[in-house]
Structure 1
Amino acid sequence: MYTSLKKVAKLFIPKSFLQKNELLFRRLISFKYKGDAYQCNICNFKLKHFVTLNDKDLLCPNCGSRSRTRRLYKILIDEEVLKGTILHFSPPKSLSKKFKLLQNVNYYSSDFENEFRADYNFNITAIDCDSHFFDIIICYHVLEHIDEDLKAMSELYRVLKPNGICYIQTPFKSGLIYEDSKIISEKEREIAFGQKDHVRVYSVEGLQNRLESVGFKVKIKTFDKSDSDNFGFKAETVFLLEK
């Protein structure tokens, strides 16, 4: 139902009006999902079940958070790192709204292609900030879009403080990284890489090797779906990087 309503709304309602009144629309839709079986740990909405998207991910109808977003928030809270200066690429609204309310955080939200609401539009391959500037960098599902990914990784390393942490996640496959610069059409990229604006699919080992080649110390965390399952988490892998 959620997906169908969203498609209909996009067809008949102007995008600017939807964005301006998104909170109202979400409250109307989420009313049908109210229950006690699950809870979103970002907006604390209690629901009978999450929305299952076409890619099988689980979405909170109240704040729009995906499972990876809720998992990331839990990691940040559990590790008590939400302080100092934070750079957040392609920020989901559910998190950016939360982070902007934190008094001990200087929050930089950035989106280069205007797909997300953000305060900056940094080019990740040439970040317009001083070196050693950020305490925390969040770079979720970004690098698989970047042609010059090693250049982007070097920039993340440059702007991160010596005691800072960079959180990275991408889609993963087994084996080697798959990329081909000759694949340029949207249709070909969707077939090869799973999405029309992706330029590669990383393997865990392949991404680790590239990140270490620019200087990062890499820690890999693998989470099981059953961990706090009432929050709508899924099995996933997250990279924690330090200088």
Structure 2
Amino acid sequence: MYQTFKNTITKIVSRKFIFKYEETLRSWYALFYTGNNYQCNVCSKKLRKFITLSNNESLCPNCGSVKRNRRLWSLLKTEFLFPQASILDFSPSRCLYRKLKKTANINYYSTDLSGDFIADHQFDITNLEIANNTLDLVICYHILEHINNDIRAIKELIRVMKPGAKALIQTPFKEGEIYEDYTFVSNEDRLKHFGQEDHVRIYSVVGLKERLQSCGFLVEIRENFSVDNKYCYDRNEKIIVITKPLN
């Protein structure tokens, strides 16, 4: 039902219209899911159930958050947000963009090159138009797997982050080694080998950790999270927290 509703809306109206009125449209649709079994921690909506998508993702009908958005927001509000923090968010989910834009006493900047997300800037992650030692926090979720020169992107992150600043990184992960082959340039090949038409590799946790360390970051792997079924988190989620050394 949800996918049919979404497909119908996207055929009728423009993306600009959807971005502008999405909150209202979702609030109407979410009335069918009102209940007390679950709750979205991003929008605080109490739900009878989350929407189950074809990829087994759990979507909030009210704000559009998925599992990783809800986990990320939990981490941000309990650990990583502080007054006057300067935050750069790459291709943010719309639900968290709206949440962070409304958060008082932080300096929030969003960026996206694709046009698929709401953003204030169009920075190239491999050549950021940001001064050295500027940012307190970077959110880099499902970005690096799209970037051919990921080492250059990582070096740009360490350049623009303040000493002691942190970044939250997530990508799709596999076991073993990083899998990349730059001879795969067609959408068909990339879909077949990397799982999505615009991906250029699949990281392993260990492989990405080593690349981040090679560029100077301190690296912490977050996994084995406790699961609160109320919020429909992902039990198997992995998040990499990196820190720019003080010296």
Question: How far 1:219 moved relative to its partner?
Answer: 0.3
Partner of 1:88: 89
Partner of 2:35: 35
What fraction of aligned residue pairs are identical, expressed as a percent?
Answer: 43
Moved more, 82-91 or 141-150: 82-91
| In structure 2, distance between residues paired with 1:14 and 1:219 | 41
Answer yes or no: is the 8 Å Cα contact 2:19–2:118 preserved in 1: no
| In structure 2, distance between residues paired with 1:64 and 1:82 | 25
Partner of 2:63: 63
RMSD: 1.2
Partner of 2:11: 11
Question: How far 1:80 moved relative to its partner?
Answer: 4.7
Question: How far 1:19 moved relative to its partner?
Answer: 2.6
Question: How far 1:58 moved relative to its partner?
Answer: 1.0
| In structure 2, distance between residues paired with 1:214 and 1:16 | 38
1:227/1:177 Cα in 2 relative to 1: closer, same or farther (>3 Å)? same
Secondary structure of the residue that 1:231 maps to in structure 2? coil
Partner of 2:228: 228
Structure 1, unaligned runs of 5 or more? none
Secondary structure of the residue that 1:56 maps to in structure 2? coil
1:135 paired with 2:136, answer yes
Q: Deviations over 1:148-202 (max 9, x none)?
A: 0000000011111111110000000001111110111111111111111111000
Q: How does 1:1-243 map to 2 (within 5 A)?
A: 1-83=1-83, 84-224=85-225, 227-234=227-234, 235-243=236-244
Q: Deviations over 1:112-168 (max 9, x none)?
A: 222111101110001100111000100000000000000000001111111111000
Q: Give 2:55's aligned amino acid.
A: D
Secondary structure of the residue that 2:87 maps to in structure 1? strand
| In structure 2, distance between residues paired with 1:131 and 1:152 | 14
Question: How far 1:8 moved relative to its partner?
Answer: 1.8
Answer yes or no: is the 8 Å Cα contact 2:177–2:203 preserved in 1: yes
Runs of at least 4 residues off by over 4 Å = none
Structure 2, unaligned runs of 5 or more? none
Count of residue correspondences: 242
Question: How far 1:208 moved relative to its partner?
Answer: 0.2
Q: Give 2:177's aligned amino acid.
A: L
| In structure 2, distance between residues paired with 1:202 and 1:150 | 13
| In structure 1, distance between residues paired with 2:88 and 2:65 | 19
| In structure 2, distance between residues paired with 1:46 and 1:5 | 21
Answer yes or no: is the 8 Å Cα contact 1:38–1:48 preserved in 2: yes
Q: Deviations over 1:80-134 (max 9, x none)?
A: 5344100000111111111112221011111122211110111000110011100
